[in-house]
Amino acid sequence: MLKLHANTIKVCDHCHILKHHQFDDNQYILTLASDVIAKETKPGQFVHVKVADNLSMRRPISIMSVDVKNATFDLFYKVVGKGTRQLSERKIGDALSIIGPIGNGFKLTNKKRPLLIGGGVGMSPLIAIAQQIKNKDYQPFAIFGSEVAFPFVKKLSDNGKNYAGATHTMPLLEDWGVECRLASLRDFKGVFTGFATDLARIFLDTLNTEDLTQIEIYTCGPRPMLKAVAELAKEYHLPCQMSLEEYMACGVGGCAGCVVKVHANAKVAMQRVCVDGPVFDAKQIF
């Protein structure tokens, strides 16, 4: 059953699971069927998932990619508690109740060299951007950081550039023509040893003044990483949009349980991450 919710957000009570892949360190990619979500999703939006019948609270999960032709969408998540544990036990053919797509996503600008920085499950919205701009007049560079195993098979980058030991990439992005490198504090082969922001600084220092004027940063990940990205953007005088990760109850703006303090119209305001965000200008966030 499909019905309108608050005029824009929709409820799909029967999104069937088509694929459910498990990766190392309790990471999963879930493919679900929904013509509406596949068509209407914008990068940075998320869905609210009823993971099990015995849990009333839904779980917010960012949409990683969509396939409009086949009416499907993909979610990347990591098991971190009871809810995601039960979600990981759902089988192909099961139907999930999904609310979405929710929130204000990223707004792609005329800056032609997007810098995509994602950490952990925060990689998902950046992969969504990469999918949207593939085969268009952009020269994106994606940097993904993780302190667990990367949830995709790694391979050498097609362009062969070596950024301080970072030579490996994610095949999905390379297939889309999006240059990508990986960063971690763990000793993974071909992966930059350090934080994603450290690798971003190395990349930015390879650019000339004209190239830097075409950079806009898009980021999502854990709060310490977002803080470091905001500082990096300020250091290089770059615009930066960030998607916040917050605990949510209703997920549709009713409970105000996910509010954050922001600068809005020269005043301090409290805004809801779920529907006022999750994407904000980095300069807005305290």
pLDDT digits (tens, 9 = 90+) for 200-257: 999 999 999 999 999 999 999 999 999 999 999 999 999 999 999 888 888 888 888 8
pLDDT of residue 5: 38
pTM of the model as a whole: 0.92
Q: Select from 203, 200, 235, 236 the least CA-distant residue to 221.
A: 200
pLDDT of 187 reads 86
Instruction: Count other C-beta atoms under 10 Å from residue 162's C-beta.
Output: 12
Residue 7 has a pLDDT of: 53
Q: At a CB cut-off of 8 Å and minimum separation 6, what does 15 contact?
A: 32, 33, 34, 37, 95, 96, 97, 98
pLDDT at 84 > cutoff 70: yes
- What b/e readout covers 236-245, taking b as 16+ CB neighbours within 10 angstroms? bebebbbbbb
In this predicted structure, the answer to whether residue 282 has a pLDDT above a threshold of 90 is yes
How would residue 189 be classed by pLDDT, with cut points 50, 70 and 90? confident
**pLDDT tier, 156 (very low <50, low <70, confident <90, very high otherwise):** confident
SS3 state of residue 133: helix
Q: Judge whether residue 2 has pLDDT over 50.
A: no
| Average pLDDT estimate for 150-171 | 82
What does each C-alpha distance from 21 to 32, 70, 82, 88 come to in angstroms?
12, 18, 19, 9
Q: What is the pLDDT of residue 114?
A: 97
Residue with structure tokens 């701009």? 133
**More confident of the two residues 12 and 76:** 76
The pLDDT, as a whole number, for residue 8 is 61
Beta-carbon contacts of residue 38 (< 8 Å; ≥ 6 apart) = 66, 67, 68, 70, 71, 72, 73
Q: What are 27-83's pLDDT values in tens digits?
A: 999 999 999 999 999 999 999 999 988 888 899 999 999 999 999 999 999 999 999
The answer to whether 125 and 68 are in contact (CB under 8 A) is no
- Arithmetic mean of pLDDT, 169-180: 90
Mean pLDDT of 135-145: 94
Which domains are seen in the chain, by residue range?
2-102 (2.40.30.10), 113-245 (3.40.50.80)
Over residues 97-127, the pLDDT tens digits come to 999 999 999 999 999 999 999 999 999 999 9
